[in-house]
Structure 1
Amino acid sequence: MKIVVVGCTHAGTSAVKNILKEQPDAEVVVYERNDNVSFLSCGIAMYVGGIVKDPASLFYSSPEELTSLGAKVNMQHDVLEIDAAKKIVRIKDLMTAAETIESYDRLVMTTGSWPLTPPIPGIEQQNVLLCKNYNQALEIIKRSENAKRITVVGAGYIGIELVEAFALQGKNITLIDGLDRILNKYLDQELTDVLENELVKQGVTLALNQQVSEFCGEMGKVTHVKTSHGKYGTDLVILCIGFKPMTELLANQVDRLPNGAIIVNEYMQTSNPDIFAAGDAAVVHYNPTDEPAYIPLATNAVRQGFLVGKNIEKPTIAYRGTQGTSGLHLFGYNIGSTGMTEASAKAAGLNVQATYFEDNYRPEFMPSTENVQMKLVYDKESHRILGAQLMSKYDITQSANTISLAIQNKMTVEDLAISDFFFQPHFDRPWNYLNLLAQQALEDLA
């Protein structure tokens, strides 16, 4: 069996490794347009902030490793065309410009995503940067060294982490977002209010609920960012406003969402059973709504890539879906989020209720303890848990994984209220804070 893999970051790397593990006799041919694989873009802010000293540590695989496992790896090769009917791909060697044709028995589409770049006047200027891959990370580091004023557009995880990194360097930071709260997709207002106050304390200028209308500049360099509410001087702009799947090669050949994300079944097969897709190029099954969704996260990518390897010959292991679970460390706060927020659930038309609750993570008689802020989102009728958010100076982020499993397994508030968690005063109370959160939800329901 000959398998062509197009794109090799998280999903592609995971797919190649697991295909070769499951099908050691398969011929696996990889085409990647960049000169590296497996770059952890979530570590860019840590690199910018100096936490990660060596950018090479942000790679967990390499072309050499994949080659040693048995793959034929073609770096700096761009796939120009895919003909699903003929089962061939047309490729261009970016170093020599030579073009070739490759046939396949199975095709794996792991082309990933690319940062959104809206048609804002002035966006083409040289100090407007994107934040996704390794080369962009190097460019951000280089240009930020002499920039005193930095504007970050987009208040999601990547944008917020960059803001923290630059603020700790003493830069003058402006954070712009079209929505009225930071981290809008992940947290409700009870938690974002705390974090926004912290950003202001750190000297960050928050320009929320504002749309960028123009990047004003001179001699090809931005000097001001103009928004619907004002004008902000800047030496550098970094765009972090979201991602779009790179799937045009399969347009009109497989089923896709309106945004281009490839629709896959539980075995990672597209509407063409010989073509598989995974990672940022594909949809996920979102368990809180039981619907397909586009959630570009490395965690989803590596799991879907793993399943490609398991199912490439025949359906073997079905996808369990995702809750979009994530974690963040920001100015001393540890934040975990999974599933739906109250705001997103109501926007989706679901009949939900939410409970906000605070408690210390362990008894007050211990030498120290920390407050935990929590919110649980659940269906008002069935009491099924749909989402949760947790935040504390203590590291409670693994509790988001606990709630993630609860959502995946369709557990209810009642289930969580009496779930078996150990008690030891070093770590928690006789009732774990997740138990107490759910017990408060039961009171709210009553």
Structure 2
Amino acid sequence: MSLYSMNIVIIGGVATGLTAAYSIRKNLPSSKITILERGEDISYGACGFPYYIEGLIEKEEKLIAKNAAEVLHDGFDLKLRHEAIDVDFERKEVTVRNLSLQENLTLSYDKLVIATGASAKRLPFFRGMKGVFPLNTLEDANHIKKYIEEAKPEKAVIIGGGNKGIELLETLTLLAVDTQVVEFLPRILNRYDEEFSDLLLKELRGEGHKIHTREEVTGAEASEKGFMKTVVTDQRTYEAELVIESIGLTPNTDFLQGKGLQMEKGAIVTDRYGRTSIGDVYAGGDCALIYDHMSGQNTYLPLGTNANKMGRLIGLSIAGKEPDFKGVQGSAMLKVFEFEMAMTGLTDQRAAELGLPFDSVMVRTRNKSGYYPGGTEFFVKITFDRNTGKILGGQVFGREGSALRIQALVASVYAGLTVHDLEYMDFGYIPPLNSVWDSLNIAGRKASEKIENSRRGATR
């Protein structure tokens, strides 16, 4: 078998699948590439859904990087509404269900890429009720958008206080829908350290937004016509004509169970280049784990950035080209109303779970020079190794422009810099955009002082 004439089957046509397809085509132009997609939408930007529902993005085409006609024109054998229902890894065959014709077919492969994504978790209380939606696919986004336009709900409940749930709070509020957020855990945005998620929670509640933590949904009631009417929790009952469930994801890997493929909680275990435990089989995106170089562990981080990285790396690996890739570090951003948050690397809570010798500092500064009008508060937290000063992670919070400040910390964590490096790092300065001492300079200095004071105390 020639490397250039391989028969490659890709299961899944969104971020990882399409990115892998084009990466393979670029490096192995003569290969035959078949893309299976059980839905009708491909290559869309799911992170834009809240803005599309809001109407800020007017047309769904804006969310689509490549449509079906373009993919077919580029020489791929794209099969929409075709679902992989079984794989025989020994025979190298995929059994596929044509959902339009309700017929099965079998495809052979030399290399297989599994990019099946994940499905939204659902609560049983709402089964069969109208006006209840997940938000995971472009089809979901269109259903929500159409329902809001036609039913014109006045009250809504968002179940889940993660990134998506909090972003949707802004979306529905701007659409004049009275919205409640119900979160089962003690706090929202639990990937952040508590004091950081509390900063945002305090601001949002202070502006009158209704966010309820430590509250469990226990039931629901529909109207006589089957439309959503009330959401019942262990503490109260909410009127709601619209419910959006945002309580997590489940990898779409049921059809692979019992086939000998190594998985953890349904997510496929891979190496840094998407190789699975079975030869010639690759996986990436929301159906798979990804290597986190800060923890040294494979972890489940269903993020668009990770899905696209893995797609490209899988394509390069299949072509025999593997660039130096040390892994990801969980970088993420959030914007809700005028507030922004971002994180990278390890938080205090994650460092504690890993048993690392960590410490941290948190500083409150301003996003402009103190004498320049219009400045607002800006918070930065750095988690570091208390022995070496190595930066393990960082979090930022503030208003417009704050989230982008994380990028310097992303690079610092990735490069293995220390808090001492931050102390005098030469950041750019102009009064309308920054202080003469950047917030990270100040955080680095505070962390360095904390380490030095600790050392002095230990030698007394």
TM over 0.5: yes
User: Which residue is 1:49 aligned to?
Assistant: 54
User: Which residue is 1:136 aligned to?
Assistant: 140
Which amino acid is the alignment partner of residue 379 of structure 2? Q
Which amino acid is the alignment partner of residue 331 of structure 2? T
1:374 to 372, 375, 380: 380
- Identity, % of aligned positions: 27
Question: How far does residue 200 in structure 1 lie from its aligned partner after superposition?
Answer: 2.5
Once the two structures are superposed, residues 42-71 of structure 1 have per-residue CA deviations (whole angstroms, 9 ceiling, x without a partner) of: 111111222111121011112222222221
Question: Does structure 1 residue 233 correspond to structure 2 residue 239?
Answer: yes
Give yes or no for contact 1:304–1:319 (8 Å, CA) kept in 2.
no
1:259 to 253, 261, 265: 265
Q: Against the structure 1 CA distance between its residues 426 and 230, is the aligned structure 2 distance closer, same or farther, given a 3 Å change threshold?
A: closer
Question: How far does residue 254 in structure 1 lie from its aligned partner after superposition?
Answer: 4.8
The root-mean-square deviation of aligned C-alpha atoms, in Å, is 1.9
Give yes or no for contact 2:221–2:228 (8 Å, CA) kept in 1.
yes
Counterparts of 1:179 and 1:258 in 2: how far apart (Å)?
23
User: Which residue is 2:98 aligned to?
Assistant: 93
Counterparts of 2:427 and 2:309 in 1: how far apart (Å)?
27
SS state of the match for residue 286, structure 2?
helix
User: Which residue is 2:10 aligned to?
Assistant: 5
User: Which residue is 2:294 aligned to?
Assistant: 288
Counterparts of 2:447 and 2:343 in 1: how far apart (Å)?
18
User: Which residue is 1:399 aligned to?
Assistant: 405
User: Which residue is 2:218 aligned to?
Assistant: 213
Q: Note the 1:16-415 alignment, pairs <5 A.
A: 16-118=21-123, 120-145=124-149, 146-185=152-191, 187-219=192-224, 220-415=226-421
Count of equivalent residues:
444
Counterparts of 1:346 and 1:69 in 2: how far apart (Å)?
49
Question: How far does residue 255 in structure 1 lie from its aligned partner after superposition?
Answer: 4.1
Which amino acid is the alignment partner of residue 128 of structure 1? V
Once the two structures are superposed, residues 304-338 of structure 1 have per-residue CA deviations (whole angstroms, 9 ceiling, x without a partner) of: 00001111132522432111111121121122211
Counterparts of 2:102 and 2:324 in 1: how far apart (Å)?
40
Question: How far does residue 414 in structure 1 lie from its aligned partner after superposition?
Answer: 2.0
Give yes or no for contact 1:307–1:318 (8 Å, CA) kept in 2.
no
Which amino acid is the alignment partner of residue 405 of structure 1? A
SS state of the match for residue 273, structure 2?
coil
Counterparts of 1:206 and 1:367 in 2: how far apart (Å)?
32
User: Which residue is 1:418 aligned to?
Assistant: 424
Which amino acid is the alignment partner of residue 225 of structure 1? V
Give yes or no for contact 2:361–2:443 (8 Å, CA) kept in 1.
yes
Which amino acid is the alignment partner of residue 328 of structure 1? L
Q: Against the structure 1 CA distance between its residues 170 and 92, is the aligned structure 2 distance closer, same or farther, given a 3 Å change threshold?
A: same
Counterparts of 2:179 and 2:34 in 1: how far apart (Å)?
45
Give yes or no for contact 1:172–1:204 (8 Å, CA) kept in 2.
no
Counterparts of 1:79 and 1:257 in 2: how far apart (Å)?
18
Give yes or no for contact 2:316–2:322 (8 Å, CA) kept in 1.
yes
Question: How far does residue 208 in structure 1 lie from its aligned partner after superposition?
Answer: 0.7
TM-score, normalising length from structure 1?
Answer: 0.94
List alignment gaps of at least 5 residues for structure 2: 1-5, 454-460
SS state of the match for residue 267, structure 2?
coil
Q: Against the structure 1 CA distance between its residues 349 and 210, is the aligned structure 2 distance closer, same or farther, given a 3 Å change threshold?
A: farther
Give yes or no for contact 1:325–1:401 (8 Å, CA) kept in 2.
no
Once the two structures are superposed, residues 75-131 of structure 1 have per-residue CA deviations (whole angstroms, 9 ceiling, x without a partner) of: 11111111111100111111111211110000000001111124x334442222110
Give yes or no for contact 2:423–2:444 (8 Å, CA) kept in 1.
yes
SS state of the match for residue 175, structure 1?
strand
User: Which residue is 2:19 aligned to?
Assistant: 14
Counterparts of 1:354 and 1:396 in 2: how far apart (Å)?
20
Counterparts of 1:134 and 1:426 in 2: how far apart (Å)?
39
